[in-house]
Amino acid sequence: MRLEQLQAFLAVAETGSFQQAAQKCGLTQSTISRQVQGLEAELNLPLFHRNAQAKLTIAGERFLPRARKICHEWRTASTELADLLAGKQPELCVAAIHSICAQYLPPVLQSFCQEYPEVQLRVTSLGSDRAIKVLKDGLVDVAIVMNNRFLTTTPELIVDPLYDEAVEVLMAANHPLTEFDRVPWAELARFPQVVFKDGYGMQRLVQEQFARQGVALNAALELNTLDAFRGIVRQGELVALLPRSAIVDGHTDPTLAVRPTAEPSLVRQVVLVTSQDRLQIPPIQRFRDLVHQHITSRSALPVS
């Protein structure tokens, strides 16, 4: 069953004439007849009494509302897809890691809202692994995350590197590790750690680094907000390994101290991830461009 067959059937039903239907559709009468005959052959039932006037058979009468509904749905779908390609979409959903939401996204969001006031932005703060999952499930359009090649190396995904940044040690201002300009990994292993929960790329990155150094990670507490990390670390013995952009204020807070690690330093890569098909949609492409303009250019937090 083809759309043009349904359209020919509807034209004949509405005009009561194959000739008038042909004029309405801008086709020859033989073409309209052929389309209707093909539809009847597929349905195995006649749809019209072919007398002086084309009158619907009982099968035609039963089929008429269905044909109208199918053609209406097709027109609606075509209009919606045309609007999508023209940039007319009701919302754009973004999932991003906490530090991106706090440090870098505000100017991107402001610029986008000025350019696309009719598109509602929905931004959710998630761990990297969870953000990639909801992107693959089609729940968000863009994810800005710590790169995990095991999750992002698939043909349908586009991965844009944004910046690399060092992971540093956050501790209380009077912590014993403050005596080091660069904290050795063996010394770091002596103290209990505050780590991110499962689903956060930072947890995996830290665990892998400790394993490479041949020392045990004493993960005493799992959290998922940066404020909670700072609050716990202030209490005394516990320390946390966090990306530099997440602990910028630690340098000015008299209750906290920040130190780089000894070599080999730990570095994370932050990337924007979306899918090939989404980049055909103008607002999503523009959001990607704005991220590169605002984040790639200003993420000058050098890797030590």
CATH code of the domain covering residue 196: 3.40.190.290
Q: How far apart are CA 189 and CA 199, in angstroms?
A: 23
Considering only CA atoms, which of 300, 295, 266 is closest in space to residue 142? Answer: 295
Does residue 80 sit in the same domain as residue 115? no
The whole-number pLDDT of residue 43 equals 92
Residue 29: partners with Cβ closer than 8 Å, 6 or more residues away: 18, 19, 22
**Domain edge (last residue) among 39, 62, 85:** 85
Does residue 23 sit in the same domain as residue 110? no
**Please, which contacts does 44-47 make with residues 24 or more away whose CB atoms are closer than 8 Å?**
47/9
Does residue 171 sit in the same domain as residue 249? yes
User: What domain range includes position 59?
Assistant: 3-85
The whole-number pLDDT of residue 301 equals 44
Q: Residue 43 belongs to a domain with what CATH number? A: 1.10.10.10
**Residues 261, 201 contacting (CB under 8 angstroms):** no
Does residue 140 sit in the same domain as residue 77? no
Rounded to 5, what percent of the chain is helix, strand, coil? 50, 25, 30
pLDDT in tens, 95-128: 999 889 888 899 999 999 999 999 999 999 998 9
**Domain edge (last residue) among 37, 57, 85:** 85
The whole-number pLDDT of residue 102 equals 82
**Domain edge (last residue) among 85, 110, 144:** 85
The whole-number pLDDT of residue 246 equals 86
Does residue 173 sit in the same domain as residue 294? yes
Does residue 12 sit in the same domain as residue 106? no
Looking at the structure of the chain, the number of domains it has is 2
Does residue 187 sit in the same domain as residue 103? yes
Alpha helices in 44-144 (DSSP H): 58-85, 98-103, 105-115, 128-136
Does residue 248 sit in the same domain as residue 128? yes
The whole-number pLDDT of residue 89 equals 76
The whole-number pLDDT of residue 88 equals 66
Does residue 118 sit in the same domain as residue 81? no
The whole-number pLDDT of residue 300 equals 43
For the chain, list residues with pLDDT below 70: 83, 86-88, 297-304
pLDDT in tens, 209-238: 999 999 999 999 999 888 899 999 999 899
Does residue 160 sit in the same domain as residue 280? yes
Does residue 148 sit in the same domain as residue 201? yes
Does residue 107 sit in the same domain as residue 236? yes
Q: How far apart are CA 245 and CA 299, in angstroms?
A: 9
